[in-house]
């Protein structure tokens, strides 16, 4: 279970030429809190996306007495509850970036300043464009995935949390902690309708991200001879060649 030496070598791409090495190629990547967060986060996003879409566009009119119905209220409650869960998870995930293994930091930054990083991104683009013959092996996210993770997921989720709480503050009022913490959003967009619009565009950003995320995870699992899908369930990355 001594993970640190492995983790250090793991940050460097494994040379494809050395792929025929003898030891069993298994590295512990995703620690239990990261995996737990991943799936709670995924569930929260599913709930938030569905309820959010209904909140924006409304639902078919409910028949019967008004006092017998509270469906839209429950939909909104589910949205707020899932939003709180996502926020709490995100905060704990940031905490884990500091105390977890080095891979836990990966979704929170992109080494844009490093030339070698861009060379590797370029290689990944060539791999996905069917130009490069072999993918490089990475213990955690590959450089292109890291780019997508940071800009499409991490930044979008942070944006959704901030705008989400700013919109929530409209209901809780000017004296609420939500307004004190996030009311500045309404100084940027004085008409909160704009905040709704941006929050809504954020939903589609997340949907687009989820499409790419799930597709590449499954595809890499099949094509690139390293485990991806099972890694986020059991934590270990296996190199099968």
Q: Which residues bind other proteins (CB under 8 A)?
A: 56-62, 66-73, 75-76, 128, 130, 133-134, 170-171, 173-174, 183-184, 186-187, 190-194, 196-197, 200-201, 203-205, 207-208, 211-212, 215, 219, 223
Please, what is the minimum distance in Å from the beta carbon of residue 65 to other proteins? 9
Identity of the residue, 134 or 236, whose beta carbon is nearer to other proteins in the bound complex: 134
Please, what is the minimum distance in Å from the beta carbon of residue 196 to other proteins? 6
**Contact at 8 Å (CB) between 14 and 142?**
no
Strand partners, 25: 239
**Rg (Cα) of the chain, in Å, rounded?**
21
Identity of the residue, 94 or 186, whose beta carbon is nearer to other proteins in the bound complex: 186
Identity of the residue, 128 or 159, whose beta carbon is nearer to other proteins in the bound complex: 128
Please, what is the minimum distance in Å from the beta carbon of residue 86 to other proteins? 19
Identity of the residue, 5 or 64, whose beta carbon is nearer to other proteins in the bound complex: 64
3-state secondary structure 89-103: HHHHHHHHHHHCCHH
How many C-beta atoms lie closer than 10 Å to residue 32's C-beta?
9
Identity of the residue, 118 or 189, whose beta carbon is nearer to other proteins in the bound complex: 189
Please, what is the minimum distance in Å from the beta carbon of residue 152 to other proteins? 10
Please, what is the minimum distance in Å from the beta carbon of residue 35 to other proteins? 25
**Contact at 8 Å (CB) between 73 and 60?**
no
Nearest to 202 by CA among 93, 71, 53: 53
d(CA 63, CA 218) in angstroms, rounded, equals: 43
Residue with structure tokens 């509850």? 81
Please, what is the minimum distance in Å from the beta carbon of residue 192 to other proteins? 4
Identity of the residue, 99 or 129, whose beta carbon is nearer to other proteins in the bound complex: 129
* Cβ burial, residue 206 (10 Å; 0-12/13-18/19+): buried
Residue with structure tokens 């078919």? 60
């Amino acid at each position: 279970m001594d993970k640190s030496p492995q983790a250090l070598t793991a940050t460097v791409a494994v040379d494809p030429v050395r792929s025929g090495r003898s030891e069993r190629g298994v590295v512990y990547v995703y620690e239990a809190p990261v995996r737990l967060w991943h799936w709670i986060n995924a569930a929260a996003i599913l709930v938030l996306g569905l309820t959010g879409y209904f909140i924006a566009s409304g639902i078919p009119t409910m028949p019967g007495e008004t006092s017998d119905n509270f469906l839209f209220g429950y939909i909104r409650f589910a949205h707020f509850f899932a939003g709180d869960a996502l926020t709490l998870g995100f905060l704990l995930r940031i905490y884990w970036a500091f105390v977890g293994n080095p891979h836990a930091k990966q979704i929170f930054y992109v080494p844009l300043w490093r030339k070698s990083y861009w060379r590797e991104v370029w290689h990944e683009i060539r791999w996905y464009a069917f130009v490069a013959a072999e993918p490089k092996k990475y213990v955690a996210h590959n450089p292109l995935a890291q780019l997508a993770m940071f800009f499409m997921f991490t930044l979008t989720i942070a944006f959704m949390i901030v705008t989400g709480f700013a919109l929530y503050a409209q209901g809780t009022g000017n004296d609420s902690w939500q307004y004190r913490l996030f009311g500045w959003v309404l100084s940027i967009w004085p008409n909160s309708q704009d905040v709704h619009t941006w929050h809504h565009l954020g939903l589609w950003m997340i949907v687009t991200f989820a499409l790419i995320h799930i597709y590449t995870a499954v595809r890499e699992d099949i094509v690139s001879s390293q485990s991806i899908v099972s890694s986020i369930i059991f934590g270990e990355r296996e190199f099968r060649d």
